[in-house]
Amino acid sequence: MTAFFGAHPVHRDQRPVRGDIGSAWRVRRKSNGLCRWQILRAFPPLRCRDCAMKPVVLITGASQGIGAAIAHVFAREIRGVSLVLVARNAKNLATVARRCSKLGATAELFPCDVSDESSVAGLASAVEKRFGTIDVLINNAGKFEGAPLGEMSVTQFDRMIAANLRSVFLMSRAFVPAMAKRGRGDVFNMSSIAGLDAYPGGAGYCAAKFGVTGLSKVMRAELKTKGVRVCCVYPGATWSPSWEGAGVPATRMMPAADVARAFLDVYRLGRSAVVEEIILRPQLGDL
């Protein structure tokens, strides 16, 4: 065991800094002669200073649209950030990762279907092995399909629930307990204005996004005493490939980069403040 025990694996080869857990360990070892195991039990929140300054940020749905924009803004603005980019399309993820690397981030892709329980379990163990506990979980992956209630197939409805809601539950269950144990973390759940107000044709999507709203409120209630901040995000129409062919001009919507910027600004607040909800709309209102 080295003085850097407890550091994220990605930081283990870096030099200790004054006042880090290593020096605390040496002082305690000298003063009371506890063995390493006893020290680890007695002082569990092991964390290297590099980790706090160089967060590990996991983004689902990072292969395009708002998720890719979030990756770009974190890569550009947070020096030393490590990005865990998750989606199913590895080729698109690789393109986003390359751009993030050029912007100065460590960016790695982890192709995964986040609505599938065993795939998420595999993802969690691969990420843990590579990066240790993550600092920020951005549950952004989602999908829209609209149809009136009577015309929506059960398969379509299930697809909406799986992509937009089940995914948030599975990812949070896989990654949040470690944050809570460590006493620090940030979670962003992507809802939508469709998770605040219903509209015709939104049977599957609105049901799923209202579900994300409810799940986020539960997470906030459970995690507020554990150092984990939970923010639920409600964007209105935002330009992304999901709008292609819809016949709505991009200028009538918000740019994905503006929505992404809100995540970064909220993350950067001091840790005694939490933004529980972000509602963003195009200046001209909903479509």
Ligand X SMILES: NC(=O)c1ccc[n+]([C@@H]2O[C@H](COP(=O)([O-])OP(=O)(O)OC[C@H]3O[C@@H](n4cnc5c(N)ncnc54)[C@H](OP(=O)(O)O)[C@@H]3O)[C@@H](O)[C@H]2O)c1
The footprint of ligand X (CB under 6 A) covers: 60-61, 63-67, 87-89, 92, 113-115, 140-144, 163-164, 167, 190, 192, 235, 237-238, 240-242
Rounded Cα distance, 277 and 164, in Å: 17
Closer residue to ligand X in complex, CB, 133/192: 192
Cα 184 to Cα 27, 47, 133, 134, 206: the distances in Å are: 25, 10, 10, 10, 31
CB 253 within 8 A of CB 237: yes
Nearest to 9 by CA among 108, 145, 139, 111: 108
Cβ at position 131, least distance to ligand X in Å: 19
Cβ at position 88, least distance to ligand X in Å: 3
Looking at residue 147, what DSSP letter applies?
B
Looking at residue 162, what DSSP letter applies?
I
Closer residue to ligand X in complex, CB, 3/278: 278
Rounded Cα distance, 253 and 59, in Å: 23
Cβ at position 165, least distance to ligand X in Å: 10
CB 230 within 8 A of CB 215: no
Query: Which residues, listed in sequence order, are joined to residue 87 by a DSSP beta bridge?
Result: 111
Cβ at position 93, least distance to ligand X in Å: 7
Rounded Cα distance, 252 and 244, in Å: 13
Closer residue to ligand X in complex, CB, 24/196: 196
Closer residue to ligand X in complex, CB, 62/228: 62
Closer residue to ligand X in complex, CB, 67/132: 67
Axis crossing angle, helix 65-77 with helix 90-102, rounded to the nearest 10: 20
Closer residue to ligand X in complex, CB, 50/113: 113
Cβ at position 210, least distance to ligand X in Å: 12
- Direct distance between the N- and C-terminal alpha carbons of the chain, in angstroms, rounded to an integer: 58
Task: Locate 188 and state its tokens.
Answer: 């962003």
Closer residue to ligand X in complex, CB, 21/96: 96
Distance, C-alpha 38 to centroid of its chain = 33
Cβ at position 102, least distance to ligand X in Å: 20
Cβ at position 113, least distance to ligand X in Å: 4
Cβ at position 94, least distance to ligand X in Å: 11
Closer residue to ligand X in complex, CB, 15/91: 91
Phi-psi region of 139 (alpha: psi -120 to 50; beta: other; left: phi over 0): beta
